Amino acid sequence: MAIPDYKLSSVLNGHSMDVRCVATTKEFCLLSASRDRTAKLWHPEGVKDFVNVVTYKGHKNFVSCVCWLPPCAAFPEGLVITGSNDNTIHGYTLQDGAVLVKLTGHENVVCSVVPGNDSGTLISSSWDSTARVWNLNAPQMAPIVLKGHQATVWAAIELANGAYATASADKSINLWRKQGGLIIKLSGHTDCVRGLAVASAETFLSCANDASVRLWTNKGECLNTYYGHTNYIYSISINPSLPQGFVTSGEDGAVKVWSAGDCVRELRLPVESVWSVTCLENGDIVTGASDGLVRVFTRDPLKYADEATLKSFEEEVQKVMASSQQEIGGFKLSELPGPEALLEPGKSEGKTKLIRRGTNVKCYSWSVAQNTWNEIGDVLGANPPSEGKTMYQGKEYDFVFSVDIKDGAPALKLPFNKNEDPWVVAQAFIHNNDLSQGYLDEVANFIVKNAKLDALPDSSNGFADPFTGEGRYVPGTTAVAGLPPPSAADPFTGSGAYTTAAAAAAYEKLLVPHDSYIRIKDFFYFADNLPANQMLTMRVLVNAFSDLPGEMLVLAARESVVHAIISLTQLNNNTQIAAASLLLNLSVALAQQTDNSELVEGIVDLLTKITDNEAYFRGLVALGTLLAESPNKLVIQTKIVTNVKLHNRLKSDSSEVNPSFKKICVCSQQILQML
């Protein structure tokens, strides 16, 4: 059967952040859910256009999923159902967006919502490792809880035979009886299972991070495995217009069109992540992607976009594809393998592989002991090193040392530049290689000796504790100008130095299993509310903002974080700085969000309690960031002006002549000007 070409039909622009889910409703309408905390209804207009007619609001965090629940006894007009990172599920009227239903019970992010086979039945899944089956015709009834997975349940559906199927980050699929008993656990995928779709009365499909699609019988037999993507597959949907047709989308920026087990078309998008894909009854394909756009593709020439739009779209795709042709270490990016190559075990300890992820390249090293590939880091463009420099993992260094830590084990690479602090580099080295804290002095002195450093870098050249602003901490050395005197005490907490065993135990508590989550509120209050532990926790959360997954983790629990900061009663100087730094990171991440009143309250509350000048300055910067960029400036202005203590201090500090507080003076003046 000849498959006509799919081409871009419409681009739906309305969301301000990633579109994480798309779905269809009656009369060829579309639904979209976004990290901007909203869902939208798009109504067809004319031959090929769509218009946003309703925006669904009310969630306090990202909207992660959306679906259409058909009419039922309790809701004869049907409902638009959304799930969110705020752990709740909302049900809205289709036409005016009024909230008629609010379901609570999940303990973490709601990943998926889909209607069940019975009228009024809703199935949801969550990061809390469970799925739930709700009867909206009888809201007083407790949901059926499907509990048995060891990690996030990314998707849940009801099969044609009435059994439930759940897909999990623990790499398995569970089949459940109608009342919740486990029937069988299905193995086969080698990474997180992300999506499910009913294929026929007897079969269903699954997709996973292992870049494969599997076809299963309703009894759990794997009939076939399909390959076509080069990266994680996030979403799968049935295409009713093709024989045994379905579509998939993923991290490789592509949508694959499948028919009778064959990949018959590939649609490239100018993005890295196509988070979600679905199909209309006429076979048109709808996508939601990381650039915040919803796109519709069609086989009908009458619905193709105009030539200018098609040309612009193709140019954007070509730019992204051209970037994939850059060379890394003599290899074209497009020639490097995708993550599926990590399914093959390494042949020796330390064996490395370059893996393509979208337009990025990551380096992995094989660990015999762990029997897994461990990510080392990003690989940058392979330009020749400057004279006298050595290239290591795509960066230039003055030295790349080989350090023998253990007899019989391969030497570890230690890159170093002369303008870096040896103890900072040594600390990073032992952390990255999971070594005992006891190696710190040995590694640092090794750097000093072999780099032939005549003098330590001047502490005034930026070598400062990023939290306290003090000079670097050099264990076991005599006093150096600008540095604190040697002490057996921990320079951050003031407590006695960590023993190796204590440090290892503390480190183990901070490790986060792949695709799992931290209950940050519980983490914040661990160890009997000790101030030192609270400070350590806040620093962990501050550092989490250095990478997107860490940032998303903190943002998903920001209400708990802000509430915990407000509840702090024992605030020494270091704790004040850590708390202010965390609120500053949150303010930068959430500055343009419409609902940041809790964050403002937390910042204002902290500013009225802290005494440390550096902490106070960071709190002012956080407040100024929100004032400058938030859509709700009036709310923020009101909170500041009505807080007499803070308002008076701003006025006083704005006229401060002491040069030690100049930055506080300048910041106070700027905030008052914005008021």
- Written as one string, the DSSP assignment of 266-277 is EEE-SSS-EEEE
User: What tokens does 405 get?
Assistant: 């830590």
The reported pLDDT for the residue numbered 587 is 87
pLDDT(254) > 50: yes
pLDDT tier for residue 220 given thresholds of 50, 70 and 90: very high
Quote the CA–CA distance of 557 and 515 in Å, as a whole number. 16
pLDDT surpassing 50 at residue 464: no
Helix (H/G/I), strand (E/B), else coil: 539: helix
Which has the higher per-residue pLDDT, 436 or 114? 114
Residue 189: name the closest of 133, 245, 232, 250 by CA: 232
Residue 310 pLDDT exceeds 60: yes
Highest mean pLDDT among 215-229, 530-544, 621-635 belongs to 215-229
Is residue 157's pLDDT more than 60?
Answer: yes
What average pLDDT does this structure show over 82-111?
A: 95
**If pLDDT is split at 50, 70 and 90, which confidence band does 660 have?**
low
pLDDT band at 160 (very low <50, low <70, confident <90, very high): very high
pLDDT at residue 60 is higher than 60: yes
Considering only CA atoms, which of 102, 91, 10 is closest in space to residue 49? 10
Secondary structure of residue 429 in the 3-state scheme: helix
Task: Give 457 or 614, the one with higher predicted confidence.
Answer: 614
How confident is the model over 478-488, as a mean pLDDT? 31
Check whether domain 12-147 has CATH 2.130.10.10, yes or no: yes
- How high does pLDDT run on average in the chain? 81
Reported for 123-127, long-range contacts at CB under 8 A and 24+ positions apart, including other chains, are 123/156, 123/157, 123/158, 123/164, 124/83, 124/89, 124/156, 125/153, 125/154, 125/155, 125/156, 125/166, 125/167, 126/87, 126/152, 126/153, 127/152, 127/153, 127/517
What is the DSSP code (8-state) at residue 116? -
pLDDT of residue 521: 42
Distance (Å) of CA 283 to CA 10, 21, 29: 14, 18, 14
Q: What is the mean pLDDT of residues 137-159?
A: 94
**pLDDT class for 514, splitting at 50, 70, 90?**
very low
- Cβ-in-10-Å burial (0-12, 13-18, 19+) of 27 comes to exposed
With 90 as the cut, is the pLDDT of residue 7 above it? yes
Q: What is the pTM of this model?
A: 0.55
> CB–CB of 67/93 below 8 Å?
no
Tell me phi and psi for residue 473, to 5 degrees: -95, 120
Min mean pLDDT across 222-226, 374-378, 649-653 is at 374-378
Residues forming CATH 2.130.10.10 domain(s) in the chain = 12-147
Res. 357 pLDDT band, cuts 50 70 90: low
Expressed in angstroms, the distance from the first to the final Cα of the chain is 67
The CATH H-level (homologous superfamily) assignment of domain 512-675 is Leucine-rich Repeat Variant (1.25.10.10)
Strand partners, 167: 155, 173
Residues of the chain with CATH 1.25.10.10: 512-675
Contact 114, 70 (CB under 8 A): no
